[in-house]
Structures are given as C-alpha cells and as structure tokens.
Structure 1
Amino acid sequence: MSHASSSASRADVYSRVTAEIIAAIEQGTGEWRAPWFHNGASIARPTNIASGKRYRGINTLALWAAGYAVGYGDGLWGTYKQWQEAGAQVREGERSTTVVLWREVQASRSADNEDDTDDGHRRMFARAFSVFNVAQVDGYERPPIPVLPESERLAHAEAFISNLGIKTEFGGSEAYYRPSEDTVFMPAFTSFRDPASFYGVWLHEDGHASGAKHRLDRDLSSRFGSAAYAVEECCVEILSGLVLADLGIAHHPRPDHAAYIASWLKVLKDDPRAIFTAASKAQQAADWMHAQQGDAAHLYA
C-alpha cells in the first residue's frame, strides 16, 4: 500500500471513530471510572466501602486530616451500618469522622399558592454522616483484586509505543504525564481490567507528551483560555481511541472513552466547536505517532 493510500485509509478510520465517539456522547454516557483497579488502599484516596467511589471536595480533606492525624495507612471508610453490611464490626470506643453529603431536591410550590407560576425550584440539602476507617473495624477482609496476566500484553502495541521515545515509569495508582520530567507515569499492566484499557490509558498519557514544546508544541490556551485543559483532555482521549483502532485493539470506541470526553465537555458547554478542535488536534497527534514508527509505519496503516 502506498503512503498516500495508507494515509487516506487512516483518515477514514479517524473520521469514523470520531463520529462514533460524538454519537455516543450525544446518546448519553455513564459515569467514567478509571480502568485500573482501585481498592482504596491509599490514604490519599479516601474511598467509600459500600459504593467503591472516592470521596470528593471537603470530604477528601476531612478524611485526609483524620487519617494522617491518627496514622491510618488505608483510605477505606464507611458508616457503622456500611461496615456491618460488609460483614465487619466497628470496635467499641472508636471515634468517628464526619463527612457531608449534598443532595439536590425538587421543592414543589405550596398548596395555598395556586396562582404561583413557578414549577418548583431545586434546593441543596446537606446531611452529615459519621464514618469509620477500615483500621477501626474488625472482621473485614479486602476482596482479592483481579490480576491481568502479563501473557496478555500485545507485542505490536508495545513496539508502537516504544517507538514514540517517551519515557514511562510503572508503579503507583495513578496515570499522568509530568512535563517537568517529560515522563509518563502508569499503574502496572496487571492492575488494569483488560489489555485495551492499559494501552488506551498509556496512549492517552503519551498523547499529553506529544504536545510538549519539543514535539508538536500544542498550545490550546490562546483560543480556549482557562478551558484549554479540558480541550487537551478531550484531544488525547480521542487520540487514544484513534490509535487503538489503528492497532486493531478496539475497532470501535470503548464506552469509557465517550464517558471520559463527556465529563470534560461540561466545561466546554459554551463552545460547541471545541470537540471538533479536539478531534483535529487528536488526528495531528496520531499522525505524529505514526511518523515515529520509521520502517514499521506501514504495519499500522
């Protein structure tokens, strides 16, 4: 296949994948969750025992402070009842930590105000909960975390990413690119739910690295200002979907791609063209990645 025809073929794939991502976003997406396993073991990641979700906002700070003050080494928290339901028992005399849950409720108009044309308005109510750390309970065994076997690594994807020349360090519980060190940090392969998730996240972070000044010098701040970070996140997540398709790892965008992009589009709601700018920059980054493949480039057409 000639270089021109392979580029045209890749452009067709990019157009299709981008269209599918946008269609998925328009249909509505669920909540995005990190595709590597989190069990709340880090004190820096306060997590609820019942829902498996991280605490947010002021609750994170409250649980950090409580955890560090007492010296807990674990970030798993729950109410007295939640620990009971998990088969554990809070020890007698243990002191709780307070967290606050905000709920939005519809306030209907009063019955004696029939002429009021307001259909009701939303109000926020805060409810306090007392929670206990896993170190304060007896009888809880953390369920085993599934392990993705190393044998499921994909050699062609490893080679493709290696050819990008971007330094990667593995370990820890977060995926991110640190510009000051020009290094990508990734959780271990074995902590992901499947190979496509691992390579998708790795490509996402390498996508951030592709925008560095000595590579593509991608600066979105001039047009998008404070929303530039959101456009960048959309860009590299679309990029991840494009290159996964190129590599034959996921022929269609995974639902978590659309959910992740949708979470950032909320920031960009006033600029309907932002998603198209992100897609354009994603294609540029994907082309850059292919250009790094040298003699192997034809394998990914």
Structure 2
Amino acid sequence: MSLVSTSAKRADVYSRVTAEIIAAIERGTGEWRAPWFHDGASIARPTNIASGMRYRGINTLALWAAGFAAGYGDGLWGTYKQWHGAGAQVREGERSTTVVLWREIATSRQEDGDDADDEGRRRMFARAFSVFNVAQVDGYERPPVQGLPESERLAHAEAFIVNLGIKTEFGRLEACYRPSADTVFMPPFTAFRDAASFYGVWLHENGHASGAKHRLDRDLSGRFGSAAYAAEECCVEILSGLVLADLGIAHHPSPDHAAYVASWLKVLKNDPRAIFTAASKAQQAADWMHAQQPQAKEMAA
C-alpha cells in the first residue's frame, strides 16, 4: 500500500469521526448555562425585579456590558420605583443603566400621510428606562434557595482532586483557572445543581491548570493559532468526562452541554484532526492526574 493511499485513508477517518461529532453537537438544542446558578440568578440572565421576566434583545446586551464592567454577580435589575416597591433603596450616587421598552402604538391617517389606509397603522415606540442592579441597593434579600446538601459530597472524588496539589479557592460566583496565581477559583458546593456538575467543573478547571508550563506545558497556539482557546476548552471538557468515568461518577451528555460545545464547531469543521489532538491531550492530562495519586506514586517508587 502506498504512502499516499495510507495518508488518504487516515484523513478519511479523521473527517468521518469529526463529522459524526459535529452532527451530535449540532443536534443539541437549548441554551447552555453553567451548572452553578441553579436558581437562575446569574448575571448572564438579566431579570426584572418587579415582573420576574427576563430582559431581551439589546437590553440583555446592555445589562451584560454594565454588569460585567461593574463586577456584579447577580442579574437582578429594576427601576428606582420598582426597587422601592420591593422594600429596597437605591444607594445615593449609584449610576443607572439604560434599557429600552418597545411599545406598539396606533397612528392616525394624518400622522402617516396620504399613503396610510383609513385605519392608519401601528408603529413601534421606544421608551427608555433607568435601571439599577441588586448590588446597587440596600434592604433587599433574595428568598432562600435550597442548595445542594453537603451530604452529597463524594469523598473519593474530593481526595482525587486534592491529591493533584493545585490550589483551589471557593466562594466565587464563577469557576476559572487563573494562571498568574496558579489557582482554581470555584463557586461553593451548595451552588451546584448536583454533585456530578460540581466535580465536573472542578476537574475542568484543574484540567486547565494541568497545562501550566511547570506541569504538562500544553500550548495549543502553534497547532490551532487563534482558535487555541476553543481547542483548550474542548481538551479539558473531554478530560473532565474521562476522569469522571474513571471515578464512577455519572456524566450524561445533554442538549445544553451540546450547545456549550458548539463553540468548538468552527475548529472541528476547519480541521478534521482537531478532535483527535484534543482527545490525545485530554488523555495525557488524565494520565497526569492519575499519576499524582498516592497509590501511583508508591508504585513508581
């Protein structure tokens, strides 16, 4: 068999497997949300205090921008009057954010000119409102939400992650790995909807940490260029699933998960070998995690 023929067959396998993965991702429906913020209070879900309704369209973008810029951790917003009606007080000197309410109004024939019909027509009218985030008010407390009980912690998973030797700080609103501090930041256990979500996210962030220069020195920029971030996310998400399986923790793909990994689609479509590289790097990181466990170190000694 010629070298060209072998290469062509390998490329066909890459393309076929990648196409199947892409199809599975594209079948996913629903809006992805992080497994924490199970009460819907995330900054990413701007909600009105009075109506309980989600803001939409450009208002969502405006409140995202304002919320992230100010470092708010909650997506609850309302006008001065609405906060007052909820028994809260907007603090003096707080800066509002503008949102727009669109209303449909009827116009007369005279207003629309001679081309209008006898009944006139309806037009959209925009009215601006000034809103404030819950972080800008005093005297308001959210109703208590039943959190994930501590009794559902899994001792063997806790021990596995602690044995990695990567520092974790809990109590944050978001999960992330900060290379400058070589530290994983996590929401508390009680903020997650189930134990599998908690350990999956914790492993995901430790997966990012595994790629640090003094560990596996994983640099995907040379392989993927500007798409390196998406490739890294793909890698550590696969890693999380691998280790959860090793630990015997249920990890069922779901539509919202598929919507999340849809961000990888461009990388996968542009490069059929990308998923193979991500899976290989994920397995390398999983092997490194297992090598940090006491029993593995004893066998190596």
Q: TM-score range by the shorter chain?
A: 0.5 to 0.7
Structure with greater Cα Rg: 2
2:64 is aligned to: 60
Amino acid across the alignment from 1:51: R
Q: Name the SS for the 2:270 alignment partner.
A: coil
Inter-partner Cα distance in structure 1 for 2:234 and 2:60: 22
- Aligned to 1:145, what secondary structure does the other structure show? coil
* Alignment RMSD (CA, Å): 4.3
User: Residue 51 in 1 paired to residue 51 in 2?
Assistant: no
Identity of aligned residues (%): 76
Query: 1:155 matched to which residue of 2?
Result: 155
Aligned partners of 2:280 and 2:210: how far apart in 1?
A: 14
Distance 1:212 1:138, change over 3 A: closer
Partner of 1:239, secondary structure, is helix
- Is the 1:175–1:205 Cα contact (8 Å) retained in structure 2? yes
**Equivalent residue for 1:183?**
183
Q: Which residue of 2 aligns with 1:130?
A: 129
Report the counterpart of residue 203 of structure 1 in structure 2. Answer: 203
Q: 1:171 to 1:96 in 2, by over 3 A?
A: closer
Report the AA paired with residue 130 of structure 1.
Answer: F
Tell me the SS of whatever aligns to 2:160: helix
Q: CA deviation at 1:157?
A: 0.5
CA 53–197 in structure 1, closer or farther in 2 if over 3 Å, else same:
farther
Query: Are the equivalent residues in 1 in contact too, given 2:230–2:263 (CA < 8 A)?
Result: no
Shift of residue 134, structure 1, vs aligned partner: 5.7
Gaps of 5+ in 1: 1-17, 102-126
TM superposition shift of 1:75: 4.5
Q: Number of residues paired by the alignment?
A: 246
The residue correspondences of 1:1-301 to structure 2 (distance < 5 A) are 24-37=24-37, 47-49=46-48, 50-51=53-54, 57-62=61-66, 75-78=75-78, 97-99=97-99, 130=129, 132-133=131-132, 142-250=142-250, 252-266=252-266, 269-295=269-295
Shift of 1:203: 0.3
**Quick check: 1:237–1:257 contact (8 Å CA) kept in 2?**
no
What's the secondary structure of 2:271's corresponding residue? coil
**Cα-to-partner distance string for 1:19-56 (whole Å, 9 max, x where unaligned):** 997663142232210111266878x7672232389975
What one-letter code is carried by the residue in structure 2 that aligns with 1:182?
Answer: D
Letter in 1 for 2:27: Q
Q: In 1, Cα distance between the equivalents of 2:99 and 2:75?
A: 14
- The one-letter amino acid of 1:216's match is L
Letter matched to residue 265 of structure 1: L
Separation of aligned partners in 2, 1:235 and 1:28: 19
Q: Do the aligned partners of residues 96 and 222 (structure 1) sit closer, same or farther apart at CA in structure 2, a change above 3 Å counting?
A: closer
Aligned residue for 1:230, secondary structure, equals helix
Whether the aligned pair in 2 keeps the contact of 1:99 and 1:129 (CA below 8 Å) is yes
Distance, in Å, in 2 between the alignment partners of 1:64 and 1:177 is 18
* Matched residue type, 1:61: A
Can you list the C-alpha shifts for 1:78-107, whole angstroms capped at 9, x where unaligned?
A: 579xx69xx96999xxx9742369xxxxxx
Greater mean alpha carbon deviation, residues 55-64 or residues 272-281: 55-64
2: CA distance between counterparts of 1:53 and 1:143? 24
Please list every run of 5 or more consecutive structure 2 residues that lacks an aligned counterpart in the other structure.
1-17, 90-94, 102-125
- 1:77 touches 1:131 (CA, 8 Å); kept in 2? no
Q: Assess if the C-alpha contact under 8 Å between 2:148 and 2:189 holds in 1.
A: yes
Question: Measured at CA, do residues 202 and 137 of structure 1 come closer, stay the same or move farther in structure 2, by a change above 3 Å?
Answer: closer
Q: Does the CA-based 8 Å contact 1:98-1:129 persist in structure 2?
A: yes
